Amino acid sequence: MGKVAVVGHLCVDIRPQLTEPPTLEPGTLRQVGPATIALGGAVANTGRVLAVLGTPVIGWGAVGSDDLGAIIRSHLGRIPGFAFRPQAVPLGSSYTIVLEPPESDRAFWNYPGSNAGLDLAAVALDDVDLLHFGYPSLMPGVCADGGAGLVDLFTRANGAGIATSLDLAWIDPLSDAGRVDWAALLGRVLPVTDILCPSYDDLACIFDLPAPFDARAAEDLIERLLGQGVGVVMVTGGTDGILLGVGEQHRLDRLASCGLQPDEWAGARLRVPARALSQVSTTTGAGDAATAGLLSGLRAGLGPRAALEFAAGVAAAVIEQGGTEAFTGLR
């Protein structure tokens, strides 16, 4: 079995400890707690969890020649089983300020920076049987031309018999990504996508779904996405659990080379609850962890329910242990 290539968004996460929601009143000073410096984005989060779970990973991301870029290289360079293939670009390295006030949902301030310079045509797929891409909406170059570069990358993978996986992110309506026709972009990329693994919130801002989580709306959308050509759809809903929909058996051929049993997965429709938590250290990276759990589970030959339950367990462990960089595996 080959390796998993994880490509896409990569940044430094700066997470200050907050005792109350932050304010932006001009001329004021507010004290906060210590900051956690970690990596964020699909390459770091999904890639690291996959490596910890025993899957060899090749990570592709763009970094600048600045101090943040050095942090990225250092952190990724010490993950066993993770081979980082950085693309050096003449832009500042991307970072995200993660705001997690107590008893409140997270907010993110993201600088795309180096992510705008990632060259998908330069991503090599040697010795790979699964390609995962994360967060096109946070990568201006990937959004360009209706996602043509991403479609080309996935088409190239398909031609080599490599299965493809795609994760999405919330779309800032005030950014360039907010002006992209995402429904149309997905219509072009889903026929060459074997696994789609977004959160409910990611889909809600594209398809105008009701908020908060609505299981019926999510189930209906899964059917619509399967109808557009994707093979497997996993939708994470936070405390509302995880949903899974799978297409017909012939659509799972490439995934069979990764360990998935098409006759066992074809046509599955499942929902599993979120795992009970012993503590909540951080929810940042939980969706990426669920994706890693699903990919790891199907590569291990698990059936759809077992793989989905495994994904929920991995997400819970990341939340309890303090994020993807603190994840040491399932206890």
pLDDT confidence of residue 210: 87
pLDDT confidence of residue 30: 81
Contact in structure between 96 and 43 (CB atoms under 8 Å):
no
Give 268-303 as a DSSP string: -EEEEPPPP-S--S--TTHHHHHHHHHHHHHHTT--
Q: Which domain holds residue 87?
A: 3-19+35-321
Q: Is 314 a domain residue?
A: yes
Q: Is 269 a domain residue?
A: yes
Q: Is 40 a domain residue?
A: yes
| CATH classification of the domain holding 215 | 3.40.1190.20
Give the helix ranges, DSSP H, for the chain. 42-52, 67-77, 140-159, 182-189, 200-207, 215-227, 253-256, 262-265, 286-299, 304-321
Q: How far apart, in Å, are the Cα atoms of 61 and each of 71, 111, 202?
A: 13, 15, 22
Q: Is 168 a domain residue?
A: yes
Per DSSP, 122 falls in state G
pLDDT confidence of residue 100: 84
Contact in structure between 278 and 320 (CB atoms under 8 Å):
yes
Distance between CA atoms of 22 and 163, rounded to whole angstroms? 43
Number of helices (H), then strands (E), in the chain = 10, 13
Q: Is 29 a domain residue?
A: no
pLDDT confidence of residue 23: 76
Q: Is 153 a domain residue?
A: yes
Closest by Cα among 158, 149, 154 to 121:
149
Give yes or no for residue 167 having a pLDDT over 90: yes
- pLDDT band at residue 107 using 50, 70 and 90 as cut-offs: confident
- pLDDT band at residue 142 using 50, 70 and 90 as cut-offs: very high
Give yes or no for residue 286 having a pLDDT over 80: yes
Dump pLDDT digits (tens) for 183-239.
Answer: 999 999 999 999 999 999 999 999 989 888 999 999 999 999 999 999 999 999 999
Give yes or no for residue 128 having a pLDDT over 90: yes
pLDDT confidence of residue 272: 97
If you average pLDDT over residues 263-288, what whole number do you get?
Answer: 94
If you average pLDDT over residues 294-315, what whole number do you get?
Answer: 97
pLDDT confidence of residue 252: 97
Domains: count for the chain: 1
pLDDT confidence of residue 153: 98
Q: What is the pTM of this model?
A: 0.94
Q: Is 18 exposed, middle or buried (0-12, 13-18, 19+ CB in 10 A)?
A: middle
Distance between CA atoms of 118 and 242, rounded to whole angstroms? 31
Give yes or no for residue 40 having a pLDDT over 90: yes
pLDDT confidence of residue 236: 97
Q: Is 273 a domain residue?
A: yes
